[in-house]
Structure 1
Amino acid sequence: MAFVPPQAGYDRAITVFSPDGRLFQVNYAREAVKRGATAVGVKCNEGVVLAVEKRITSRLIEPESYEKIFQIDDHIAAASSGIIADARVLVNRARLEAQIHRLTYGEPAPLAVIVKKICDLKQMHTQYGGVRPFGAALLMAGVNEKPELYETDPSGAYFAWKAVAIGSGRNTAMAIFEEKYKDDMSLEEAIKLAIFALAKTMEKPSAENIEVAIITVKDKKFRKLSREEIEKYLNEVMKEVEEEEVKEKEEDYSELDSHY
């Protein structure tokens, strides 16, 4: 008889808690997000920025066809990490909810309402048999009265952030945000910070494998940056990255010298 690990019974069923209060399938869904491409969001007084790493695995893939930032409504966008097919289902649901709200009430949907609807759906997929949790997290950004930025978790939990990252580079990006984020930064500075944090998590950042979108307070319209715009910001950011790396090496050498 094959050995069965003690947690196996709780592992297979989405609706059964383990003795220590965990739902293993939800934890595994979070692992799918942790292994996914990095996505970051930065909020400032002038608007909100989303930036995502595009993992293009072949030079034959058309970069424009590999979409990781999605328009939900004129004033709302979402960036995904994890299983992209799962993310598309959530994005389509968010678009539907945004249009239902617009037709019902004659006004753009508040971002918080759409986030709650999506997280209600995610939570349902942790509670009923015959389904599995969504293996995707979304960063949802928008401007109603003011800029807003939310992270949604596979469990159905959601949080509002000033700056946040999801995916494999989360820890690196969050450390950068903790150090460099300022409440009074401009939109230009927010774009640079988002690209800087993303570039630090990537081996070879380029305008082809980075996607950036903004929504401004001024016009409340979603807009993706062109490749030329991303390249301009990336060139400026890479100079900062190189300067920081040189500074870190100099500090390491000075520490070594102090030991002799």
Structure 2
Amino acid sequence: MTTALADHVQESTQTAGSRPFGAALLVAGVDPTRSVSTPKRGTDEADGTGHLFEVEPGGTPYGWQAVGIGDATSDLRERLEDVLETTPTDELTASDGVSMALGALAKTDNEPNPSAYECLTIGRGSATARRSTAEIADVLENVAS
């Protein structure tokens, strides 16, 4: 899916100087045909493996373990890389990932505002969850302490 999207975006740039989409896109999903066995989670049969891709405005796709786009992108990516260097990703839970991402975001923002953030976790089937502003505020409070 990401390749098809990136190809479409890239084809739209064939006109000189044209970047009709004008923004990077984040594409996330779960491959239901793959499974991951970890000490923290145990062995699951075909539990699905999460994937995260960025598609640049020119149509180039990149795969990531964690990424942010927008203001302060380079600082945010540095902070995420620092955390990932010391944390085995195969042992992260969705809650760990939310804390890591919001913590890195808060450190790049001079005045973290929970109502300015959106947080969504994607799992198998209908396991998608959008965090409320109150939940985001709780996570930010915990990572700040």
Q: Does 1:228 align with 2:131?
A: no
2:108 to 170, 178, 201: 201
Q: How does 1:4-83 map to 2 (within 5 A)?
A: none
Counterpart amino acid of 1:230?
A: I
- State the distance in 1 between where 2:126 and 2:27 align: 14
Q: Given that residues 123 and 155 in structure 1 are in contact (C-alpha distance below 8 angstroms), is that contact kept between their aligned partners in structure 2?
A: yes
**Equivalent residue for 2:143?**
237
Give secondary structure in 2 for the equivalent of 1:136. coil
- State the distance in 2 between where 1:200 and 1:121 align: 35
**Equivalent residue for 1:168?**
71
Counterpart amino acid of 1:185?
A: L
Tell me the CA shift for residue 220 of structure 1: 4.7
- State the distance in 2 between where 1:116 and 1:222 align: 23
Aligned length: 124
Tell me the CA shift for residue 159 of structure 1: 1.2
Counterpart amino acid of 1:222?
A: T
Counterpart amino acid of 2:112?
A: P
- State the distance in 1 between where 2:74 and 2:7 align: 27
**Equivalent residue for 2:40?**
none
Determine which structure has the larger strand proportion and give its number: 1
**Equivalent residue for 1:120?**
7
**Equivalent residue for 2:52?**
149
Counterpart amino acid of 1:175?
A: E
Q: Does 1:212 align with 2:119?
A: yes
- Structure 1 gap segments, 5+ residues each: 1-112, 240-260
Normalised TM-score (structure 1): 0.45
- State the distance in 1 between where 2:139 and 2:70 align: 22
RMSD: 1.7
State percent identity of aligned pairs.
30
**Equivalent residue for 2:27?**
140
Counterpart amino acid of 1:143?
A: V
1:179 to 78, 82, 86: 82
Runs of 4+ aligned structure 1 residues displaced above 6 Å come to: none
Counterpart amino acid of 1:148?
A: H
The structure whose RCO (Cα within 8 Å, separation 6+) is larger is: 1
